[in-house]
Amino acid sequence: MMRFRQVIDPLSPENKLLLATGPMSGTSAQSFSKWIAVTKSPLTGTFSRSLGGGDFGAWLKWAGFALIIFEGRAAQPVYLHITDGKYEIRDADAIWGKTTSQTHAYLKKEHGPKARMVYVGPAAEKLVRFSPIISGRRAAGRGGMGTVMASKNLKAIVIEANRSETLANPAEFKRLVRQQIKGYKETMDGVVFQEFRKHGTVMGLDWFYSNFGSIPMKNHRFGELEGWPENIGMWPYAEVTEKHVGCYGCMIKCGKVRRIPSGPYAGISSEGPQLETAWAFSGPTGCTSRDATIVASHRCDELGLDTISTGNTIGFAYELFEKGILTTKDTDGLVLNYGDHEPMLELIEKIARREGLGNILAEGVKRAASHIGKGAEEYAMHVKGLEMPGYDPRARKGMGMNWALGNMGANHNYGWPQQEIHDPKPRLLDPVADEGQGDVLKWNHDQTAALELAVACYFSSHHLQFFDLGLVAKMLEAALGVPRFGSEDYLWYVGDKVYNLERCFNIREGFDRKDDTLPKRFLTEPLRGGIRDGEVVRKPDAILDQYYDVRGWDRNGIPTKETLARLGLEELDRDIARFRR
C-alpha cells in the first residue's frame, strides 16, 4: 500500500538517499548514461532530485545495479566499493576531510584507473546544506544531495565493472540508435551547433543579457552591470577554453575545460564555468572578473559546494553589508563591496569550513536570513529555500512562475520554459506576459519528469532538442520489451503522475499555495536597468490558478480526489485530504 511515512529530518539516519541509473545507461544510446540522486532535501525540506553526468551512470549499470537505496548512518566514515554485482563497505579514514580531487586520486590509486566513482567534498562533511555529490567535475548539484550522503558517513561509491548490455530487442534498439546518431550528426553540422560547440552554455550569457534583459545583477536588483558581457560573456571564456568534454555515450560534449593563462590565478582550471556558475560568481556580487569565476568554480568543485546556492548566499551577504545589516564585525573583517571578488573567494572557503559568517551562510539564504534577523529576510532570494538561478523573474515571468510552482523550488534544471525563447511546442510564450502561462508550465513539468524517469539528459533533449519523448518511448520499449513504454502518451501520463506524487510528498511536509510564490522583491520592486527596466511580476495568483486548474488541483494547490484517482494515486488521499480547501 502506498502511504507516506511520517515527517523526518533530512539529515537524520531515517532519510533515504536513492542513487539510480537509467535503463539505457551504458548502451550505445546517446545522452542516456546519466545517474540520478533522490532524497528529501536538507536545504528545502521538499522532495528533491538531481541528475549527474560523467561516466558513473554507465559503470553503475554495468556493475548490475539499477538503484541503490542508502539509509541509516555508518558508525564511522566509509565508502562503498562495488565490483561485478558484489559490494563491500570500506573504511574511509584516509579520505575523510580530503578535497574531491584528492579523494579521486586516492581511490584511483586504490582501485585502478578503470574504476569510476562519486564522492562528497569536505563541505558536505561539515553538513553545508547545499553540497552536491560529485563525479569527476560533474555534479548532482542542487538541493544538498551530497549533504545527505555525508550525513550517513558515506564519503564515496567506487565501481569496477566491465561493459555489458542487456536489451529486449537488440536489432530494433540498434536501428533507433542509428536514427538518433544520424539526427545528432545533422544537427551538429549546423551553424547554431558549431557556435554552441565553441562556447557551450556561456553563449547564453550574452544572449539572455542583451535580448531578454533577464540576467539578475547585485542580488537580483538590476538588469544590467558594467562589464557585461565584455568581461563575463562567451568571448572571454572562449579565449581560455582548452577542450570539450562530456558524459559517457554523448557526442555533444557540452562541457568546456577552461584554464587561466596568466595573472595571480594562472594555471587554475575548471570544467566550466557553465552559464549558471559564471553568473553565480559575477551577477550576485557585481564582480566582473572572468578569472575569479573560474577560481570560484574550481573551489566549489574541490570543496563540494553547489555553485548557484554558494554564489547567491554570498550575493545576499554583499547586499546585507551594503544595507548595514552586516558589518566587518560579522564578516571577520571582510569588506563586502560590490565588484570586489577577493572577499567572494574567501567566503567560499569560509562556507565550506563553516567558519565565522560562513557558518551562517552554509545554512542557505532562508535559514541565514532568519538567523541574522534585522529584516534580512527581505534580501533572501529563494523559492521554498532553494536559491535562485541566473534569470530574473520580472524579465522572464514564465521562468519565475516555473520556480514558484516547482516541487524543488527555484531549480533551473526543471521545467525550463524554452517557449519564452524559441520553442513553439506546445506554443510560444511572451516572456513578459502577466498571465496565461499555466498550461505550458505544466507541459514542461510533465516532460521533465518523464525524461528524468528514463534518466535521459534533460539538457540535450529539452534545451538542445536533439531528441523528443516520442523517440525516448520507442527506445524504452526496445530496451525493456514493455509495450506500453513505447507510447509517448503513456510517458506524458507518467510525467503527470510523477509530478503529482512529488507534490503530495511536499503537501505532507506542510507545503501548499503559500509556498508557490516568489520573493517579495520580484512582486513589488521594479527591475532596474536593461531592456526590461521597470518590469515586475504583476499577477502571480492568476498564473497559479490557471496552473492548478489544468493540473486538477484545488485553490490551495492540493490534487483533488478525482485527479489522484485518474493517476492511480488514490491511496494518497488519506495523507493530503485535510489540506484541501
Instruction: Give the span between the Cα atoms of 392 and 388, in whole angstroms.
Output: 9
Concatenating the DSSP letter of every residue in 460-510 gives IIIIT-S--HHHHHHHHHHHH--GGGG-HHHHHHHHHHHHHHHHHHHHHTT
Cell numbers at 315, concatenated: 550575493
Considering the complex, what minimum distance in angstroms separates the CB of residue 497 from ligand SF4?
Answer: 25
177 binds ligand SF4 (CB under 6 A): no
Give the residue among 528, 467, 462 at the shortest CA–CA distance from 51.
Answer: 462
576 binds ligand SF4 (CB under 6 A): no
**From 327-335, 394-402, 456-464, 560-568, span contacting ligand SF4 (CB under 6 A):** 456-464
Q: In terms of CB distance, is 252 or 576 closer to ligand SF4?
A: 252
Q: In terms of CB distance, is 216 or 390 closer to ligand SF4?
A: 390
Whether 216 contacts 223, CB under 8 Å: yes
Q: Is 231 exposed, middle or buried (0-12, 13-18, 19+ CB in 10 A)?
A: middle
Considering the complex, what minimum distance in angstroms separates the CB of residue 255 from ligand SF4?
Answer: 6
Cell numbers at 125, concatenated: 562533511
Considering the complex, what minimum distance in angstroms separates the CB of residue 203 from ligand SF4?
Answer: 14
Provide the mask over 218-247, with x wherever binding to ligand SF4 is found by CB under 6 A and - wherever it is not: ----------------------------xx
273 φ/ψ angles, rounded to the nearest 5 degrees: -70, 145
Instruction: Give the span between the Cα atoms of 240 and 297, in whole angstroms.
Output: 14
| Cis amide leading into 229 (omega within 30) | yes
Q: How many residues bind ligand SF4 (CB under 6 A)?
A: 11
Residues 144-163 that bind ligand SF4 (CB under 6 A): none
Residues 363-392 that bind ligand SF4 (CB under 6 A): none
Q: In terms of CB distance, is 52 or 415 closer to ligand SF4?
A: 52
Considering the complex, what minimum distance in angstroms separates the CB of residue 346 from ligand SF4?
Answer: 31
24 binds ligand SF4 (CB under 6 A): no
Q: In terms of CB distance, is 73 or 253 closer to ligand SF4?
A: 253
Considering the complex, what minimum distance in angstroms separates the CB of residue 141 from ligand SF4?
Answer: 12
140 binds ligand SF4 (CB under 6 A): no
253 binds ligand SF4 (CB under 6 A): yes
Considering the complex, what minimum distance in angstroms separates the CB of residue 252 from ligand SF4?
Answer: 4
Strands 241-245 and 269-271: unpaired
Give the residue among 70, 201, 60, 52 at the shortest CA–CA distance from 141.
Answer: 52
Residues paired with 222 in a beta bridge: 217, 528
Q: In terms of CB distance, is 11 or 300 closer to ligand SF4?
A: 300
| Angle of helix 191-199 versus helix 170-189 axis, rounded to 10 | 90
Considering the complex, what minimum distance in angstroms separates the CB of residue 238 from ligand SF4?
Answer: 18
Give the residue among 479, 488, 511 at the shortest CA–CA distance from 579.
Answer: 511
Q: In terms of CB distance, is 443 or 459 closer to ligand SF4?
A: 459
SS3 at position 30: coil
Q: What is the 3-state secondary structure (H, E, C) of 522-559?
A: HHHCCCECCCCCCCCCCCHHHHHHHHHHHHCECCCCCE
Considering the complex, what minimum distance in angstroms separates the CB of residue 118 from ligand SF4?
Answer: 15
313 binds ligand SF4 (CB under 6 A): no
Q: In terms of CB distance, is 26 or 557 closer to ligand SF4?
A: 26
402 φ/ψ angles, rounded to the nearest 5 degrees: -60, -45
Considering the complex, what minimum distance in angstroms separates the CB of residue 442 from ligand SF4?
Answer: 24
410 binds ligand SF4 (CB under 6 A): no
Considering the complex, what minimum distance in angstroms separates the CB of residue 490 from ligand SF4?
Answer: 24
250 binds ligand SF4 (CB under 6 A): yes
455 binds ligand SF4 (CB under 6 A): no
Whether 45 contacts 69, CB under 8 Å: no
Largest CA distance in the chain: 68
**From 251-259, 380-388, 481-489, 572-580, span contacting ligand SF4 (CB under 6 A):** 251-259
Q: In terms of CB distance, is 123 or 247 closer to ligand SF4?
A: 247
Whether 223 contacts 211, CB under 8 Å: no
| Near ligand SF4 by CB under 6 A: residue from 232, 317, 408, 457 | 457
| Near ligand SF4 by CB under 6 A: residue from 159, 161, 234, 254 | 254
**From 118-126, 248-256, 440-448, 493-501, span contacting ligand SF4 (CB under 6 A):** 248-256
Cell numbers at 391, concatenated: 534569470
Whether 219 contacts 318, CB under 8 Å: yes
| Near ligand SF4 by CB under 6 A: residue from 460, 506, 546, 563 | 460
| Near ligand SF4 by CB under 6 A: residue from 208, 209, 416, 459 | 459
Considering the complex, what minimum distance in angstroms separates the CB of residue 32 from ligand SF4?
Answer: 8
User: What's the N-to-C CA distance of the chain in angstroms?
Assistant: 26
User: Is the sign of the CA dihedral 24, 143, 47, 86 positive or negative?
Assistant: positive
469 binds ligand SF4 (CB under 6 A): no
Residues 30-49 that bind ligand SF4 (CB under 6 A): 31
How crowded is residue 97: how many other Cβ atoms within 10 Å of its Cβ? 15
Q: Give, as one character, the DSSP assignment of residue 378.
A: G
| Near ligand SF4 by CB under 6 A: residue from 26, 52, 53, 364 | 53
**From 368-376, 431-439, 455-463, 506-514, span contacting ligand SF4 (CB under 6 A):** 455-463
Give the residue among 339, 337, 281 at the shortest CA–CA distance from 305.
Answer: 281
Whether 403 contacts 382, CB under 8 Å: no
Considering the complex, what minimum distance in angstroms separates the CB of residue 247 from ligand SF4?
Answer: 3
Q: In terms of CB distance, is 168 or 181 closer to ligand SF4?
A: 181
Q: Which amino acid is at 526?
A: P
Considering the complex, what minimum distance in angstroms separates the CB of residue 337 from ligand SF4?
Answer: 36
How crowded is residue 36: how many other Cβ atoms within 10 Å of its Cβ? 20
Q: In terms of CB distance, is 200 or 495 closer to ligand SF4?
A: 200
59 binds ligand SF4 (CB under 6 A): no
Instruction: Give the span between the Cα atoms of 304 and 128, in whole angstroms.
Output: 9
* List of residues contacting ligand SF4 (CB under 6 A): 31, 53, 246-247, 250, 252-254, 457, 459-460
